[in-house]
C-alpha cells in the first residue's frame, strides 16, 4: 500500500540492536554495578509512591469551615495601612518595597506601570518618569519624599553603612544613586 505523507523529521527506519550487542550490554560491568547500587533507592521510591496519594488536595483542608474552633480573627490578616497617591501611584503596581532601616514606621515603595513584557519592549527608549515614594505611617495621604527616576524602578536598596544613599535599578538597565540627606533634614 501507499504510505501517508509525514514530515521529514519522522521518516526514518528503526535501528535494531542484534542479539550479540544486547548480550554485551547486559554483561557490561559498569551498568551492573550501577543497578546494584540504586535498586534499593528505586524500591524505596516506588513504595513511597504507593503509600502517598500524590493526587490529594492538601490545600482543601486549609479552608475556613463553619465548625472551626477558636477565634476567627486569629486566622485572618488585616490591613493596617494603605498608601495611594493620585499622581505617583494610582493604577500602578508595586515593583519594590523596603522598610527604611534607620526610621521606624517608614516604608519606601517603587511604583511601575502595569505592563506586559511586550508592552515594555514597545515603550523602551521613551523617556517616562518613575518614582520611589517614601511613606510614613503617620500620614498615609502624602508621601514624605519622592525620588524621581528617568525610567521605572525595578528594585532599590538602602546603603547599610550610609542610610542617606539609595541605589536603584531601572527596567532599562540604568543604575541610579539618590542622596536623601537633604530630604531627611527637611523632614
pLDDT in tens, 87-140: 788 888 888 999 988 888 899 999 888 888 888 778 877 778 889 999 998 888
Residue 120: the pLDDT is 79
pLDDT bucket at 27, cuts 50 / 70 / 90: confident
Q: Convert the pLDDT of each residue in 32-73 to its tens digit.
A: 778 888 989 988 888 887 777 777 777 777 765 555 555 555
Percent of the chain with pLDDT over 90: 17
Residue 8 predicted with pLDDT over 60: no
Distance, in Å, from the CA atom of 110 to the CA atom of 93, rounded to the nearest integer, reads: 8
Backbone angles phi, psi at 58, to 5 degrees: -70, -30
Amino acid at each position: 500500500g501507499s504510505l501517508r505523507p509525514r514530515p521529514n523529521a519522522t521518516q526514518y527506519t528503526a535501528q535494531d540492536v542484534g542479539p550479540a550487542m544486547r548480550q554485551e550490554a547486559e554483561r557490561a560491568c559498569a551498568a551492573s554495578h550501577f543497578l546494584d547500587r540504586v535498586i534499593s533507592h528505586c524500591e524505596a521510591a516506588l513504595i513511597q509512591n504507593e503509600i502517598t496519594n500524590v493526587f490529594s488536595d492538601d490545600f482543601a483542608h486549609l479552608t475556613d469551615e463553619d465548625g472551626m474552633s477558636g477565634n476567627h480573627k486569629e486566622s485572618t490578616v488585616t490591613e493596617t495601612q494603605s498608601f495611594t497617591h493620585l499622581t505617583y501611584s494610582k493604577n500602578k503596581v508595586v515593583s519594590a518595597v523596603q522598610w527604611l532601616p534607620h526610621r521606624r514606621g517608614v516604608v519606601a515603595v517603587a511604583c511601575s506601570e502595569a505592563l506586559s513584557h511586550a508592552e515594555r519592549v514597545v515603550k523602551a527608549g521613551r523617556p517616562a518618569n518613575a518614582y520611589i515614594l517614601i511613606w510614613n505611617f503617620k500620614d498615609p495621604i502624602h508621601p514624605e519624599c519622592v525620588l524621581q527616576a528617568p525610567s521605572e524602578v525595578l528594585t532599590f536598596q538602602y546603603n547599610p553603612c550610609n542610610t542617606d544613599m539609595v541605589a536603584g535599578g531601572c527596567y532599562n538597565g540604568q543604575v541610579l544613586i539618590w542622596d536623601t540627606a537633604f530630604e531627611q533634614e527637611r523632614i
